[in-house]
Amino acid sequence: MQSLAAAAVLLLFLTDHSLSSSGSEGGPSVLKLPSFKTEGNVALEKTLAQRRSVRDFRGAPVTLVELSQILWAAQGVTNSRGFRTAPSAGALYPLEVFVVAGRVDGLASGVYRYKPAGHELLRVFEGDRRGDLASSALNQSWVKDAPACIVIAAVFDRTTGKYRERGVRYVHMEAGHAAQNVCLQAVALGLGTVVVGAFQDREVKQVLHMLDSEEPLAIIPLGRIR
Structural domain of 152: 33-223
Angle 15-21-23 from CA coordinates, rounded to 5°: 110
**Residues 23 and 37 reside in one and the same domain:** no
Under 8 Å between Cβ of 122 and 29: yes
H or E element at residue 43: none
Average pLDDT, integer, range 206-224: 98
Provide the pLDDT for residue 28.
59
Provide the pLDDT for residue 164.
98
**Residues 63 and 10 reside in one and the same domain:** no
In terms of Cα–Cα distance, which of 67, 100, 90 is closest to 163?
Answer: 90
For all residues of the chain together, what is the average pLDDT? 91
The yes-or-no verdict on residue 24 having pLDDT over 70 is: no
**Residues 51 and 20 reside in one and the same domain:** no
The yes-or-no verdict on residue 25 having pLDDT over 80 is: no
Question: Could you report the per-residue pLDDT of 173-207, keeping only the tens digit for each?
Answer: 999 999 999 999 999 999 999 999 999 999 999 99
The yes-or-no verdict on residue 8 having pLDDT over 60 is: no
Bridge pairing between strands 215-223 and 148-154? antiparallel
Provide the pLDDT for residue 37.
98
Question: Could you report the per-residue pLDDT of 105-140, keeping only the tens digit for each?
Answer: 999 999 999 999 999 999 999 999 999 999 999 999
**Residues 19 and 49 reside in one and the same domain:** no
**Residues 7 and 90 reside in one and the same domain:** no
Sheet holding 120-126, edge to edge: 30-32, 120-126, 110-115, 95-101, 148-154, 215-223, 192-193
CA dist 64 and 103 (Å) reads: 10
- CATH number for position 174: 3.40.109.10
**Residues 38 and 15 reside in one and the same domain:** no
Provide the pLDDT for residue 2.
42
Whole-number Cα distances in Å, 101 to 57, 67, 146, 221? 15, 10, 9, 10
Provide the pLDDT for residue 159.
99
The structural domain count of the chain equals: 2
**Residues 18 and 129 reside in one and the same domain:** no
Helices (H) and strands (E) in the chain, counts: 8, 9
75 φ/ψ angles, rounded to the nearest 5 degrees: -150, 25
**Residues 11 and 112 reside in one and the same domain:** no
- Which letter does DSSP use for residue 199 in this model? S
**Residues 104 and 216 reside in one and the same domain:** yes
185 φ/ψ angles, rounded to the nearest 5 degrees: -65, -35
The yes-or-no verdict on residue 18 having pLDDT over 60 is: no
The yes-or-no verdict on residue 4 having pLDDT over 90 is: no
**Residues 131 and 173 reside in one and the same domain:** yes
H-helix segments, the chain: 2-22, 44-50, 64-75, 130-136, 141-145, 157-163, 166-188, 201-208
**Residues 62 and 11 reside in one and the same domain:** no
**Residues 10 and 101 reside in one and the same domain:** no
Provide the pLDDT for residue 12.
37
Provide the pLDDT for residue 17.
32
Question: Could you report the per-residue pLDDT of 148-174, keeping only the tens digit for each?
Answer: 999 999 999 999 999 999 999 999 999
pTM above 0.85? yes
